Amino acid sequence: AQSVTQLGSHVSVSEGALVLLRCNYSSSVPPYLFWYVQYPNQGLQLLLKYTTGATLVKGINGFEAEFKKSETSFHLTKPSAHMSDAAEYFCAVEDSSYKLIFGSGTRLLVRP
């Protein structure tokens, strides 16, 4: 069965600093992986996704993630944090029934 683990329920960075949000997955089949962002009292917005092909995936708002099969990881990064990046981030893996299994989420705090 597929599962997702997000290490760190909260991550705090200074504005301009590197953002690194960790995601590890478990999947019995080649995984389809997703990162979503959620702002307060809103739905989810897709940041980026990995299906096949290039393992470094670029998304919106300057975010990118690298699929590392050997490490079963799909960490999300951004070189320079902006105040507007403060939000909840969810990693997800698609299961064999094409449903999304979400991680527990990581709240990103950006300090001025």
Partner 1 sequence: GAVVSQHPSWVICKSGTSVKIECRSLDFQATTMFWYRQFPKQSLMLMATSNEGSKATYEQGVEKDKFLINHASLTLSTLTVTSAHPEDSSFYICSARAGGTNEKLFFGSGTQLSVL
- Do 86 and 26 form a contact (C-beta atoms < 8 A)? no
CB-wise, 15 or 22, nearer to partner 1?
A: 22
Give the interface segment with partner 1, choosing from 11-19, 21-29, 34-42, 71-79 (CB under 8 A): 34-42
Binding status of residue 62 toward partner 1 by CB under 8 A: no
Q: Which among 14, 13, 1, 34 has a CA at the least distance from the CA of 103?
A: 34
According to DSSP, residue 29 is labeled S
Give the interface segment with partner 1, choosing from 12-20, 38-46, 61-69, 70-78 (CB under 8 A): 38-46
CA separation for the pair 72, 112 (Å, rounded)? 33
Binding status of residue 50 toward partner 1 by CB under 8 A: no
Please provide the distance, in angstroms rounded to a whole number, between the alpha carbons at the two ends of the chain.
Answer: 41
Helix, strand, coil percent content, the chain, rounded in steps of 5: 5, 50, 45
Binding status of residue 59 toward partner 1 by CB under 8 A: no
Give the interface segment with partner 1, choosing from 19-27, 46-54, 63-71, 76-84 (CB under 8 A): 46-54
Binding status of residue 84 toward partner 1 by CB under 8 A: no
